[in-house]
Amino acid sequence: MAGQPSNPIPAMTTFQPLQTPVVVIGPQFLAQYPVDLKVATKLMSFGESNFGVTDMNGTLIFRVKSKLLSIRDRRHLLDIAGNVIATFQQKIMTAHRRWKVFRGESTNDQDLLFSVKKSSIIQFKTELDVCLAANTAEDVPDFKVRGSWLERSCTIYLGQTNTIIAQMHRKHTLQTVVFDADNFGVTVYPNVDYAFVVALVDYQLWYLSTAQQLLARCNH
């Protein structure tokens, strides 16, 4: 019928917006309703890995580009216009596999947004600590990521609480078989910076990929 919204959002009654918005990369990436995203990853060429992030209608929202063979494995989060809105850089020679995420194309400490690392060196399930730039002591993480390597899924929590701000799960589609790609669904809760969530998902996918490669080497 004319006048009705094309995409009803009954989920708004299930997901209550946080009283204090989670803004890390920018307030322009906030929504008052749950944001459902699709992430498709694929090794595009030797030494380069890209993935695209779309909404549920297939509209491109973000892209991530990386050079896998670079010394620090630097990655970039781009908007639909091709502007770099965040740069991820691995800190080399760290047992916890720490990454730093900076604003724009910068890698200067004054432009640091947040860092993410494994909660412990030895893990049977994924658990990551995320600390914002202002949290220099890093005694208590600002966010936690917990997930399953086997199920290739994760949940992002606010600090040490049980408050969920986003979830990721693997999607099995014909495309994963035909195009040798991994597809993931991501639900970002209301009042949460979805660009920030995409950055955390990127780390999770990188971590899963490197763990899978290590396991494959051990089996040979």
Residue 178 confidence (pLDDT): 40
CB 126 within 8 A of CB 157: no
Per-residue pLDDT tens digits for 9-25: 333 435 677 889 999 99
Backbone angles phi, psi at 205, to 5 degrees: -65, -40
CA 2 to chain centre: 37
Per-residue pLDDT tens digits for 96-127: 578 999 999 999 999 999 999 888 766 667 78
DSSP state of 72: T
CA 85 to chain centre: 14
Per-residue pLDDT tens digits for 160-210: 999 999 999 876 554 443 434 568 899 999 999 999 999 998 887 776 665
pLDDT band (50, 70, 90) for residue 159: very high
CA 35 to chain centre: 14
Nearest 10 degrees: Cα torsion 11, 190, 203, 51: 60
Tell me the domains of the chain and their CATH numbers: 27-219 (2.40.160.200)
CB 119 within 8 A of CB 97: no
